[in-house]
Copies of this chain bind each other. A is one copy, B any other.
Amino acid sequence: MHAINNRVSTIEGGKLDELNIHPVNSSISMTLNQDQLTTTTRLVTSPDLTKSSFSLNGRVYEEVPGRIKDVIIIAQLRARLAGRTNVYPHLCIESINSFPTAAGLASSASGLAALAFGLTELYRLDEDASSLARRGSGSACRSLYGGFVHWIRPNDTLGWTGGFQTLCSSVSKLYPASHWPELKVLICVASSQKKSIGSTTGMQRTVNTSQLFQRARCESVKQHELLLLSALRDRNFDNFARIAMQDSNQLHAVCLDTWPPCIFLTDVSLKIMNWVHAMNRCCGRTVVAYTFDAGPNAFLFAEESNVSFLLHLLALCFGTKSCETTSEVPSGDSSINHVHVTDPVDKMVKNLLFRGIKYPVYSMPIDMELLKALPRHEGGILYVISTEVGDGPRVLASNLP
């Protein structure tokens, strides 16, 4: 089973309710296609097990991590209340991500969503897997529905829990993956190193110390939320792109205003941001947008018709070795300079590794002026994962009766 999510616009921004994990701000996320990015989690339980165990990407942990334990305890409590008979004390959990872990690619949201989904299936729980996932990692609650998902902050949804009125957040599916198939995602992996600061710790520090966050961020998030909802409804790429970029920049601005500062962006991140702005300026319209989660890797958005072109230019500007280029002036028009890449297929593959969805190789000549205007950083991107919006988690195999 699998789940991965990618925040496109608004952020959790710390927790309003630390215990029950409800967010300060609403957020909208896209569930990425599990054909390209996936967490596979195997759950085994039996009365014969004498010890619980947890492994991530093959590494066995000495102890089951705290938040995973929390999710298990709540799932087992729910299962016992529902009268399930297969609630044995120990569980063996093996989880594998097909993409870098703890590098700002939402691996913990993906992992916790997979775990919560698996436990819900294992114990045949009636309750929502999303509320279970939330207890492990706030943003994981958005990864259970597929498509475009809205996590709404408590202010707007007053609820009752166990007889006490509490502030509750709610999660709802906005659109299925099929709503906007032309929208594509290119994940530029600049570094697969682990982050120096976790997003949960970082976000809480932001809420506690950033004056810009305390005085202005929430108001802006509300505006971004409304604008993004309209852009998604209308599949308006131009508006979607602007809000995604503005919100990403504001998120990283409040991170910088945190004390001590949380810096997730690197030189390559900044170069890619400038590259996107230069690209849109040169093209005279918005062809590409970026967003950064709590990490240095860019999530680029583009419409399908532009992806080949963009991948080609990403390879030229951020590939591991510069392409040799030959400049030639087409006869008859001396005012236009073009650059031809000799054997583009071969060069591009050598230049930058592409994973995920395959696109036709872009074979048109590239405008020399455009290439000159774009920032470059040889080897700045390790590889690109081409993906798109996809469905929610699924059961791969089960021997439950």
Asked if A212 and B250 make an inter-chain contact with CB atoms under 8 angstroms apart, the answer reads yes
A394 interface residue (CB < 8 Å to B): no
Q: Out of B211, B219, B223, B242, which one reaches A250, CB within 8 Å?
A: B211
Q: Which residues of B contact A261 (CB under 8 A)?
A: 249, 273, 277
A270 interface residue (CB < 8 Å to B): yes
A246 touching B259 in the complex, CB below 8 Å, given contacts A253-B253, A266-B267, A266-B270: yes
Q: Out of B253, B265, B266, B273, which one reaches A254, CB within 8 Å?
A: B253
Q: Which residues of B contact A270 (CB under 8 A)?
A: 263, 265-267
Asked if A215 and B211 make an inter-chain contact with CB atoms under 8 angstroms apart, the answer reads no
Q: Out of B212, B246, B267, B273, which one reaches A216, CB within 8 Å?
A: B212
A274 interface residue (CB < 8 Å to B): yes
A257 interface residue (CB < 8 Å to B): yes
Q: How many copies does the complex hold?
A: 2
A231 interface residue (CB < 8 Å to B): no
- Please, how many residues of chain A have a CB less than 8 angstroms from a CB on the other chain? 29
A220 interface residue (CB < 8 Å to B): yes
Q: Out of B211, B260, B274, which one reaches A263, CB within 8 Å?
A: B274
Complex: A274 Cα to B220 Cα, angstroms: 28
Q: Out of B212, B219, B267, which one reaches A253, CB within 8 Å?
A: B212
Q: Distance in Å from the Cβ of A288 to the closest Cβ of chain B?
A: 13
Q: Which residues of B contact A263 (CB under 8 A)?
A: 270, 273-274
Q: Which residues of B contact A242 (CB under 8 A)?
A: 259
A217 interface residue (CB < 8 Å to B): yes
Interface majority SS (helix, strand, loop, mixed), chain A: helix
Complex: A145 Cα to B195 Cα, angstroms: 46
Q: Out of B212, B266, B267, B273, which one reaches A212, CB within 8 Å?
A: B212
Q: Which residues of B contact A246 (CB under 8 A)?
A: 257, 259
Complex: A266 Cα to B219 Cα, angstroms: 29
Q: Which residues of B contact A220 (CB under 8 A)?
A: 211-212, 215
A252 interface residue (CB < 8 Å to B): yes
**Which residues between 114 and 155 of chain A lie within 8 Å of chain B, taking CB atoms?**
none
A223 — nearest CB in chain B belongs to which residue?
B211
Q: Which residues of B contact A167 (CB under 8 A)?
A: none
Q: Which residues of B contact A252 (CB under 8 A)?
A: 256
Q: Distance in Å from the Cβ of A243 to the closest Cβ of chain B?
A: 11
Q: Distance in Å from the Cβ of A206 to the closest Cβ of chain B?
A: 11
Q: Distance in Å from the Cβ of A334 to the closest Cβ of chain B?
A: 29
Pairs across A and B, CB under 8 Å, 17 listed: A211-B250, A212-B212, A212-B216, A212-B217, A212-B220, A215-B216, A215-B219, A215-B220, A216-B216, A246-B259, A249-B256, A249-B259, A252-B256, A253-B253, A263-B274, A265-B270, A266-B267
